[in-house]
A and B are shown apart, each in its own frame.
Chain A
Amino acid sequence: MNRRNLLKVLGLSAVGVATVPLWMDGWTSDDLPADTTGLDEDQKLVLAAMVDTYIPSGEIPGAKELEVDHFILAMVGGCFQKETQEEFLTGFNGLHQSSTEAYGSSFDQLSTQQRVELLIKLEATEKDPDKTINFVPFIKDLTISGYMSSKYIMENHLGYEFVPGRFNGSFPVEKSVYRNA
């Protein structure tokens, strides 16, 4: 892979690579609790592919670059019941089955187009109220919450300030980060 392509895969611009990538500043996935879910390496690739499909990279980093897959592992390992953790694990088998049935290969090997199609289909069909989680929607929710609570997105796109030093009770929406107009 030539340098240009590598940069593209990493979602970096040629300028940015010389310095520490902006979103890595002060936070890395090493700060997250260690993974205790028991996911194997292949499944981790699938998880990375899933978050990448939901929120792909572009001008603004996507979920994989912001290591949202690591966040999901930490959350599942620490904040959910045993039953959910088991359904999380078996969910990968289900996805693998759907993926091979439809396209003949593992989810992480599919084209972007195929991954998007498959996730849309599974999101619409996985609605079993008896399960503690429905795998694909569950991953989607965690992807969104991990992405939206990431340093990069909070600071650069959600107007997050840790020390605002002010409160304004009537602030015009048009001056805010919100795009209502």
Chain B
Amino acid sequence: MANFNIDAKTRQSYDAIVIGSGISGGWAAKELTEKGLKTLVLERGKNVEHIKDYPTTHLRPWEMKYRGRLPLDVIEENPIVSKCYAFKDDAEHFFVKDKEHPYVQEKPFDWIRGYQVGGKSLLWARQVQRWSDFDFEGPARDGFAVDWPIRYKDLAPWYSYVEKFAGVSGNKDGLAELPDGEFLRPYEFTKVEQYFKEQVAQKYEDRHVIIARCAHLSEQKPIFTEQGRTQCQNRVVCQRGCPYGGYFSSNSSTIPWAQKTGNLTLQADSVVESLIYDEQKEKVTGVRVIDAKTKETTEYFADIIFVNAAAVNTNLLLLNSTSKRFPNGLGNDSGLLGKFMAFHNYRAKIQAEYDGFLDYTTDGNRPTSGYIPRFRNVRQQETNFLRGYAAGFGAHRSTISNTEGVGSTLKEKLLNPKLGPWRVGSHMMGETIPKETNFVNLSKTETDEWGMPLLNFSVDYDDNDEKMIADYFEQMTEMFESAGFTNIRTSDTHQAPGLDIHEMGGVRMGRDPKTSLLNEWNQMHHAKNVFVTDGACMTSTATQNPSLTYMALTARAVDYAVKEMKKGNL
């Protein structure tokens, strides 16, 4: 018996283990394997191989079973994930179904997940904006959460590093609040977006309309050819998986790259149940894994562990990793694990019309849209709420659907479609303030199919969020009015937190082990060979789409971890 264990231990030992193969785990895998570490990536979902496992990628609208609509039984069985705009016929197979992976909602939370190799990197909207020091300095300046242990200068080289590999299209806008990156050629504005940009620039010194930076290959470069990726073809059916590798996903980019090093072992259908803490060695030695299909348990061992299960699942995993030393979850001496969860406030929308530039429309498709960086409270506090919001912005011609008549008169109209006014719209992306009262914890009574406790959510909006929505409506209405937009309508979707799919926190970074779980290198204060580099590490949320920051933090943390390992410090 003893011998068998030793055998198993040597057989199943790696230099590094990465938990999760999504955006952040894919980067961890790439960096670790490139630096020569034998790396095991454990992924709870099924394998999804680039191109081969994109079953809908070549389907034209008329080839989709219900022309892109989902059958009613699928919608009725999935009231939560059905709320996500991308949960349609062409991509529903990449989303977690409500019934398969239940959770507890002490307060409503729409938890949108993708369990497969590649995680949500297949599904994401590919928007990638850098943070600035106005964001990193937020908690310290405004007195919430704890101070970030890093600043923009610490991350800037790593932003550049990941952008060059992932491929980011954007325009050099020269804005301190949204630093420029390593950009491929930007996508164009539409006529009315360009007009709005000019109108806003005339009236407001501190407000800017830019084209959102997105992880698309708007041009080809040798580094992308080397990855087997080619230029984006403007199909904009990205959520199906792209056969061109035109946008960044783990599947098209980091995972095949890691595979080429010969140092990667990628194991799908492997649910990590907990991290194993060795009381004698006083360190984490490995992970306990349940086979998703057979439910068999196996242990794997490694010198360093990267936890990249996506923000909320990383919390679950660490809370479930209890030992005599850590009865309340791994590294949780502070009692803060699972707390200070935050997200982005996506409730507010505004729509309008514009009757100018009627001689123009657009041609082809664009995988991104307009973007208005945060302009509230950037340099100083100036409103009755803390922080602020960024906004998506877009303008497209509407089509007139005149369906009057029967027979040839109707047919004539349908075959001679006409364009209506420009339809203008924006949605808010608000920063929320992390609070101890917004938390996740483990259910004491309910477990899932694999015997893991269900996760319970207690996360909500607060008064600051409500004030911010009111301000967004006021400011955007004013901006729209002064540009001559008409028929302006605001709406509050009242959607639950979670549907933004930017959930963050619970394992936050900080300087002091008493008030944070990770140090400035995403390293657990109390378990030095464990690194958390997904959304769980986020001390605050800023307004930017967060995944680019996870990528940069991951590459930076791997660099540090491997150096420390070589020094014999881990």
B406 interfacial contact with A, CB 8 Å: yes
Given A31-B63, A79-B69, A144-B403; A172-B415 close (CB under 8 Å): no
Q: Which residues of B contact A167 (CB under 8 A)?
A: 187-188, 234, 362-366
Q: Which residues of A contact B191 (CB under 8 A)?
A: 169-170
Least Cβ distance of A133 to chain B in Å?
14
Q: Which of A54-82 contact B (CB under 8 A)?
A: 54-56, 58, 60, 62, 71, 74-75, 78-81
Contact A78 B406 (CB under 8 A): no
Contact A123 B406 (CB under 8 A): yes
B360 interfacial contact with A, CB 8 Å: yes
Give the distance in Å from the alpha carbon of A180 to the alpha carbon of B417 in the complex.
8
Least Cβ distance of A8 to chain B in Å?
16
Q: Which residues of A contact B366 (CB under 8 A)?
A: 167, 169
Contact B187 A158 (CB under 8 A): no
Contact A174 B62 (CB under 8 A): no
Partner of A140, one of B360, B362, B403: B403
Most buried by B among A80, A162, A180: A180
Contact A27 B62 (CB under 8 A): yes
Q: Which of A118-171 contact B (CB under 8 A)?
A: 119-120, 123, 140-141, 144-151, 153-154, 157-158, 160-171
Given A170-B191, A173-B361; A56-B407 close (CB under 8 Å): yes
Contact B364 A172 (CB under 8 A): no
B445 interfacial contact with A, CB 8 Å: no
Q: Which residues of B contact A149 (CB under 8 A)?
A: 61-62, 67
Contact A179 B234 (CB under 8 A): no
Give the distance in Å from the alpha carbon of A75 to the alpha carbon of B71 in the complex.
8
Given A167-B188, A169-B193; A32-B65 close (CB under 8 Å): yes
Given A33-B66, A78-B72; A53-B61 close (CB under 8 Å): no
Least Cβ distance of A26 to chain B in Å?
8
Give the distance in Å from the alpha carbon of A80 to the alpha carbon of B71 in the complex.
8
Q: Which residues of A contact B194 (CB under 8 A)?
A: 169-170
Q: Which residues of B contact A166 (CB under 8 A)?
A: 234, 363-364
Contact B363 A168 (CB under 8 A): yes
B83 interfacial contact with A, CB 8 Å: no
Contact B406 A120 (CB under 8 A): yes
A45 interfacial contact with B, CB 8 Å: no
Q: Which of A32-54 contact B (CB under 8 A)?
A: 32-33, 53-54
Most buried by A among B61, B67, B188, B233: B67
A22 interfacial contact with B, CB 8 Å: no
Contact A171 B358 (CB under 8 A): no
Q: Which residues of A contact B403 (CB under 8 A)?
A: 140-141, 144
Q: Which residues of B contact A160 (CB under 8 A)?
A: 61
Given A54-B406, A116-B407, A167-B364; A173-B65 close (CB under 8 Å): no
Contact B233 A165 (CB under 8 A): yes
| Chain A, residue nearest B235 (CB) | A163
Contact B418 A179 (CB under 8 A): yes
B226 interfacial contact with A, CB 8 Å: no
Least Cβ distance of B193 to chain A in Å?
7
| Chain A, residue nearest B71 (CB) | A78
Give the distance in Å from the alpha carbon of A105 to the alpha carbon of B72 in the complex.
36
Q: Which residues of A contact B419 (CB under 8 A)?
A: 173, 176, 178, 180
Contact A144 B406 (CB under 8 A): no
Give the distance in Å from the alpha carbon of A175 to the alpha carbon of B362 in the complex.
11
Contact B407 A53 (CB under 8 A): yes
A10 interfacial contact with B, CB 8 Å: no
Q: Which of B171-208 contact A (CB under 8 A)?
A: 187-191, 193-194
| Chain B, residue nearest A158 (CB) | B417
Give the distance in Å from the alpha carbon of A173 to the alpha carbon of B70 in the complex.
33
Q: Mark B334-366, 1 if CB is under 8 A from A, else 0.
A: 000000000000000000000000111111111
Given A32-B65, A119-B406, A162-B60; A56-B362 close (CB under 8 Å): no
Q: Which residues of A contact B234 (CB under 8 A)?
A: 163-167
Partner of A178, one of B71, B361, B411: B361
A17 interfacial contact with B, CB 8 Å: no
B416 interfacial contact with A, CB 8 Å: yes
Give the distance in Å from the alpha carbon of A181 to the alpha carbon of B70 in the complex.
37
Q: Which residues of A contact B416 (CB under 8 A)?
A: 179
A7 interfacial contact with B, CB 8 Å: no
Least Cβ distance of A162 to chain B in Å?
6
Would you list the 10 A-B pairs with minimal beta carbon distance, nearest first? A169-B188, A171-B363, A164-B364, A166-B364, A168-B363, A167-B366, A78-B71, A167-B364, A179-B416, A170-B191
Residues of A within 8 A of B (CB): 27, 31-33, 53-56, 58, 60, 62, 71, 74-75, 78-81, 112, 116, 119-120, 123, 140-141, 144-151, 153-154, 157-158, 160-180
30 example contacts (A-B, Cβ-Cβ < 8 A) are as follows A27-B60, A32-B65, A53-B406, A55-B410, A71-B67, A78-B65, A81-B72, A119-B406, A123-B406, A140-B403, A141-B403, A144-B403, A146-B67, A149-B61, A151-B60, A154-B62, A163-B233, A163-B234, A163-B235, A167-B188, A169-B191, A169-B194, A169-B362, A170-B194, A171-B362, A171-B363, A173-B360, A176-B363, A177-B417, A179-B416
